[in-house]
Amino acid sequence: MTKSLLSLPLCFFLTYSLSSHAAEPDVQAAVNQLTKPAHWSGLPLLADEATKRGHDLPLPIGVSLFYNNIDADYVADNDFQVQVDGGLLGFRGPNDYVVPAEDVSITGSDRSVQLKIDAWILPFWNVYALLGYTEGHKDIRAKLDNVEGLPCDDACNGIVLPIPIEYTAKNYGIGTVLAGQIDPIIGDTPVIVMAVGAIVNANTDTTDSVIKTKLASIRVGQRYDIGSDKLAWFLGFSHQSVNQNVTGDYSFVGTDLAPLMEEVKFDIDLAKKETKNMSVSINYDFGPRNEWNLYTEYGFLNWQHLIIGVGRRF
C-alpha cells in the first residue's frame, strides 16, 4: 500500500526532482532503513521518523551546476531619462530629455552559469545558496515623438533612439523548497507537489546596473523507477518578477544618428513585461546511491527559457 505523506511531506532534490520516494518495503527493506547509519552531517532532522515510515531519504547535501538561457520582453517602470551631448539635440549641451515610458520597448536575453549548494534541513524542507555568472543583452528602443523640448520639433517624429546594452554580472541568492506527496488517484504512482521560492540579486560589471529577481513556483509531477535509477517529470506554474535599474552611456559617433546626437547618458528602471509562465522539466537520478542527476527544463507561454544541469549529492 502506498503511503500518504500529507502529514510528513516527501523529500526532493534541489533541482525540483523528488529525491526520496514512498516505498512498499518488505521486511528486509525495512531492516535496511532502520539500520542505515546516520549521515555525518546529522541531516536531515527527523530522519529516523521518516525511515520508520518506510521512506528512502536522499543524501542530504547537494552540489549542482546549471546553464540557463532566457529570452524575454521588458517594459519601462518609469520615464526614460537621457542626457545628450553633441549633435543637434546636444547643441550647447549636455541637454536633458525625458522619453515617456509608454514610448520605450525593451527586449532582452541572458545566459548564465549557476552553482547551487543545498541541504535537507528536514525530510520535507530544503534550503540552498546560489552563486553564478551572467552575460546579458538588452535592446532599448525609445521613440522621440512625444519628447518635449526637442529643437527639431515634429521633424524628430518617427526617430527611434536605439541603445544596445551588453553586460556581465555576478549573482548570489537564496532559496527554499517544500514538497509533499499525494496518494494516486489513477494507477499506483503517487502525485508529487512542490513549492519553490527564491530571491536572487545580480551586480553587473559593465554598466551601473542591479538586477533583482524573485521567483515563486508550484510544480506537480510523478516519479518512476527505471531499474535502480529514477526518472521524474514535472509541470510547473511560476511567478517571476525581474527588476533592473540601468544607467550608463552610449556613443553614436560613427553611426547614422551622429548628426542628431553623439554621446548619450541614460537612466531607466526595467521590469519583466510578463511575470507568469509555464514549464516542463525532466530529472534523471542515477549511480549506486542515485547520487548523480541530470536535469532539463523548458519554459513556455509568456517567455522561453532553457535550463540544463548536472548535480551530485553527498
- Does 28 score more than 60 pLDDT? no
Cα(211)–Cα(112) distance, integer angstroms: 13
Instruction: Note the helical H segments in the chain.
Output: 27-35, 47-52
Q: Check residue 36 and give its pLDDT.
A: 63
Instruction: Read off the DSSP letter of residue 6.
Output: S
Q: Check residue 24 and give its pLDDT.
A: 46
Return the half-sphere exposure (C-beta side, CA atoms, 13 A cut-off) of residue 107.
Answer: 5
Q: Check residue 7 and give its pLDDT.
A: 29
- The percent of residues in the chain predicted with pLDDT above 90, rounded, is 73
Torsion angle of the four alpha carbons 108, 106, 259, 265, in this order, in degrees rounded to the nearest 10 = -80
Task: Locate the domains of the chain by residue range.
Answer: 21-79+111-136+166-246+274-313
Closest to 22 (Cα-Cα) out of 13, 32, 9? 9
For residue 125, what are the contacts with CB-CB under 8 A and spacing of at least 6?
9, 44, 176, 177, 178
Model confidence, pTM: 0.84
- Does 64 score more than 80 pLDDT? yes
Closest to 114 (Cα-Cα) out of 64, 60, 77? 64
Question: What average pLDDT does range 48-62 have in this prediction?
Answer: 84
Q: What is the CATH number of domain 21-79+111-136+166-246+274-313?
A: 2.40.160
Helix (H) or strand (E) holding 71: strand 61-76
Burial class (CB in 10 A: 0-12, 13-18, 19+), 182: middle
Neighbours of 188 (CB within 10 A): 9
Identify any residues that bridge with 133 across adjacent strands, giving them in sequence order.
113, 170
Select the highest-mean-pLDDT range: 40-44, 47-51, 82-86, 165-169. Answer: 82-86
- Does 230 score more than 90 pLDDT? yes
Q: Report CA-CA distances (Å) from 20 to 63, 173, 284, 302.
A: 17, 25, 13, 32
End-to-end CA distance of the chain: 30
Q: Report CA-CA distances (Å) from 144 to 99, 105, 150, 157, 158.
A: 7, 12, 9, 6, 7
Q: Check residue 206 and give its pLDDT.
A: 73
Cα(110)–Cα(70) distance, integer angstroms: 5
- Does 17 score more than 70 pLDDT? no
Cβ–Cβ < 8 Å for 271, 241: yes
Torsion angle of the four alpha carbons 53, 285, 310, 181, in this order, in degrees rounded to the nearest 10 = -40
**Residues 66-100 pLDDT 10s:** 999 999 999 999 999 999 999 999 998 899 999 99
The pLDDT confidence band at residue 4, using thresholds 50, 70 and 90, is very low
Q: Check residue 54 and give its pLDDT.
A: 72
Return the half-sphere exposure (C-beta side, CA atoms, 13 A cut-off) of residue 240.
Answer: 26
